Chain A
Amino acid sequence: MAPPAPPARTPAKRPSTLVTVAVMLTIAIMGSLWVPIFARTQPELGGFPFFYWYQLILVPVTSVLCWICYLLLRTRRIRTQPGAPSRGATPQGTQGARR
C-alpha cells in the first residue's frame, strides 16, 4: 500500500487564524442547531413565517462563512515545475512540498 505520491504537507496556520475559523464555524453550526432562536412565526417576510425564511437565509450565510474560512486556510499553490513562478510559496511551504 505505497502512497501514490510523496506527501506535500500543508504549512501550519497562525493561532489567531485558527481561532477565527473556529468561531465562524461554530456560529455556522449553532445557527441551525439552537432551535429556540428560530422556532417562531413572527416576524413574517413575504408570507413566510420566521421559521422558514430564517433557515432559507441561513443557507447562503453558512456558505459565505465556509468560503471565508476556506480563504483563510488556503495554502498557496506551490509550483514544482522549473520556470514556473513560485510567488507566494513560503519557505516552510516549499520545504514541506519537497519532502
Chain B
Amino acid sequence: MNHVNAVTLTILVASFLLVTLIGFASARWRPAEDPMHLNEWGLGGRGFGTFVSWFLLGGDIYTAYTFIAVPALVYATGAAGFYALSYTIMVFPIVFIFGPRLWSVARARGYVSPGEFARGRFGSQGLGLAVALTGILATMPYIALQLVGIEAVLTVLGIGGGTNPVTRDLPLIIAFVVVAGYTYLAGLRAPALIAFVKDTLIYVTVIVAILYIPSRLGGWSHVFGVAQTHLTSTNPATGKPFGNIVVLPAGEWAYASLALGSALALFVYPHAVTGVFAAKRRDVIRRNAAMLPAYTLVLGLIALFGYLARSVPAVNAGVKAGGNNPQLSVPLLFQSMFPSWFAGIADAAIVIGALVPAAVMSIAAANLFTRTIYKELIRPYATPAEETKVARIASLLMKVGALGFVLELNKTFSINLQLLGGIWILQTFPAVVIGLYTRWFHRYGLCVGWLAGMVYGTVQAYRTTSAVQAHFASSAAPVLGHITYIAIVALLLNVAVSALFTVIFRWTGVQDGWDETKPGDYTADPVSAPAPAARTRRQDPLATR
C-alpha cells in the first residue's frame, strides 16, 4: 500500500479542486437581498424546491461514513449490517407523516432549528436548551466520522499516515480547512450545490460497480456462496460464527429495533432538520419522501459491496494488513477491481461525500447554538446580522472540534461517541416529534424524561462488552431476554417518565409553559403569498418547482 497511484491521486485531487471552486462560487448562487440573515446563511433562503432538496437531503443523509461503515459491517458480520437498508426504507414513510408538520410550524414561526420549536411549543428555555445541547453533542462526533471516511480512502491510496507528525494528518487538515472556508462564506448554499457533484459521482460509481464487478467475480451466486462460507466459519476471537447471510431468529429483535430506532432518530438529527427546513414548500417534503428512496437503493447496493469485497482475495489480504480494519474493504475493492482512473472517481465520490454532510452538520449545529443558546441566554436582542456572524463562527468551531476529535482522540472514541449520539438524539423525539401532535406533556415532565433517557442510554451503552472491547462494544443490549437497540428502550423509558412526571406536576400545580404556536401553524403552507424565493427565480435556471 506504499505505492501511490498517480492517476488515481490526480483524479481525486482534481475533483476536490472542482468542488472547492463550486463551494466558493455558491455564495453568488441565488443572491439574497439580505445575505446577513440567518434564513439565508443557515437555510439557503428557505427556497429550495423539490429538485435541489432531493440532492441536498440525499447528499446530507447518506454520508461518507455510511458508505464506508455499512459495507464494512456487511463485510464483517453479513446480514446484520443490512439493518441500514431496512432503516432507510422505513424512514421515508415516517418522514412523510411528521415532516410536513415540522416544516409548516418552522416556516410559520421562523424557526431555524429543532431547539427553537421545543422552546416555543412548550414555553421552556430549559427544554430548548436540552434539545440544542443534545443536537450539538450528537453532531460533533458525526462530523468527526466523516473524516474517518476520508481517512480510509487516503490510507488505501498510501497518502497520509506514516510517522512524520506534520505530513501524517496534513491531507485531512487541508480538506477540512477548505470546507470550513466555503461553509463560512456561503452557508447552506455550498453543500446544496456540491451535493450535485457528490451524488453524480456516487450514482456513477455504484452503477458501474454493480454492473461490472460481479461478472468479474463469477456472478452473484458465487459471491453469496463465498460470503456464507466465511460467515459461518468460526471467529477465533469469540468462538462463534462471524455472522450469517440472513438474520437469524435470535437477531431479529436487534435488527428490527436498530432499524426503527435509527429511522426515528434520523429526522431529529439537526442536519436532517436543516435540510427539511430549507425546503420552499410543504409539498416538497412529501414529494421527496417518495423520491429519496432512490438513494436507499444506492445504499442497498453499496451494502452489497461488502460481499463483493469478501470475494476478492486482494481485499481480504489488504484488510488484514491494515490491522484487521474492515473499513478499508470498499476503497480496497475499488483499487483492486477498477482501472486506476475510475478508482480515482470512486474515491472522489467518498471524499466529496464526506464534505457535504460535514458542511450541513456544522451549519445545523451552528443554527442550534445561535438561536437556542446565544439568542436565548446571552443576547436576546441580537440583530439578524449578529446572529449570522455568530453562526458562522460557531460553524468554524464545530469543525475545529471535530478535527480535534479525530486527530487528538483515537478513532474508536469517535465511533463510540457516534453510537452514543444516535441514542442521545432519539431522546429529543418526545419534545420535537410528539410535540408536533400534542401539548399534553408538561414542560418539566419532558425535561425529566429526557434526562432519564440520556442517563439510561449512556449507562447501558457503556456497559456493553465484547471479546475485544470492555465498554461501548455495541449499540444493543439484552432487555427482557431480547437483544434490543438501547436507543429504543431509552426512548420508551423517556416517554414513560415524561408521562409520569406530567401527571405529578399537573397534580401538584407546577406552572406549565405557554405555547406560542397556533393550531393553524402546523398545516400552514405560506407559498401563495410572495415568498422570498420568488424574486430570485428569474436569475436562476436551477430554481425548479
A44 to B108 alpha-carbon distance, docked (Å)? 51
User: Quick check: is B283 within 8 A (CB to CB) of the other chain?
Assistant: yes
Contacting chain A: which of B423-431, B441-449, B455-463, B520-528?
A: B520-528
Q: Indicate whether A48 sits within 8 Å of B260 (C-beta atoms), given known contacts A33-B86, A35-B247, A66-B93.
A: no
Interface residues of A (CB under 8 A from B): 1-10, 25, 28-29, 31-36, 39-41, 44, 46-49, 51-52, 55-56, 58-60, 62-67, 69-70, 73-75, 77-80, 97
**Which residues in B have their C-beta under 8 angstroms from that of A58?**
89
Contact of A55 among B85, B94, B248, B524 (CB under 8 A): B85
Contact (Cβ within 8 A) B89 A31? yes
Contacts of B296 in A (CB 8 A): 59
- Complex Cα gap A64–B220 (Å): 27
Give A63 to B92 CA distance when docked, in angstroms. 8
B219 lies within 8 A of chain A by Cβ:
yes
Question: Taking beta carbons and an 8 Å cutoff, which residues of B are in contact with A?
Answer: 39, 46, 79, 82, 85-87, 89-90, 92-94, 96-97, 104, 107-110, 219-224, 245-249, 252, 255-256, 259-260, 282-283, 286-287, 289-291, 293-294, 296-297, 300-301, 304, 520-521, 523-532
The answer to whether A36 touches B252, judged by C-beta atoms less than 8 angstroms apart, is yes
Query: A25 and B110: CB pair below 8 A?
Result: no
A70–B287 contact, CB under 8 A?
A: yes
- Nearest CB of chain B from residue A17's CB, rounded to whole Å: 14
Give chain A residues whose Cβ lies under 8 Å from the Cβ of B96. Answer: 25, 66, 69-70
B524 touches A7 (CB 8 A): yes
The A/B interface has a contact count, at CB < 8 Å, of: 162
Q: Which residues of A contact B93 (CB under 8 A)?
A: 25, 28-29, 62, 65-66
Known: A28-B90, A32-B85, A47-B220. 11 other contacts (CB 8 A): A1-B110, A3-B108, A8-B527, A10-B525, A28-B93, A32-B259, A33-B260, A46-B220, A47-B222, A59-B300, A66-B96
Chain A residue nearest in CB terms to B293: A63
8 Å CB contact of A29 from B94, B110, B300? B94
Closest A residue to B289 by beta carbon equals A66
Asked if residues A47 and B221 are in contact (CB atoms below 8 Å), the reply is: yes
User: Which residues in A have their C-beta under 8 angstroms from that of B92?
Assistant: 28, 62-63, 66
- With both chains docked as a complex, state the minimum distance between the C-beta of B467 and any C-beta of chain A, in angstroms: 25
Q: How far is the CA of A82 from the CA of B221 in the complex (A)?
A: 63
Alpha-carbon gap, A77 to B89, bound state (A): 30
How close is B221's CB to chain A, nearest CB, in angstroms?
4
B123 → chain A closest CB, angstroms: 14
In the bound complex, residues from chain B placing their C-beta under 8 Å from that of A51 are 79, 82, 245-247
Interface centre among B82, B107, B245, B524 (most CB of A within 10 A): B524
Q: Say whether A3 contacts B526, CB under 8 Å.
A: yes
Is the CB–CB distance between B246 and A79 below 8 Å? no
Query: In the bound complex, do residue B224 and residue A55 qualify as a contact, i.e. CB atoms below 8 Å apart?
Result: no
CB of B525 within 8 A of CB of A7, answer: yes
B109 touches A74 (CB 8 A): no
**Given the contacts A46-B220, A48-B220, A70 and B109 also touching, CB distance less than 8 Å:** no
Chain A residues with Cβ under 8 A from B529's Cβ?
5-6, 8, 80
Closest residue of chain B to A36, judged by CB?
B252
A74 to B39, CA, bound (A): 26
Question: Contact between A56 and B297 (Cβ–Cβ < 8 Å)?
Answer: yes
A31 CA to B93 CA, complexed, in Å: 11
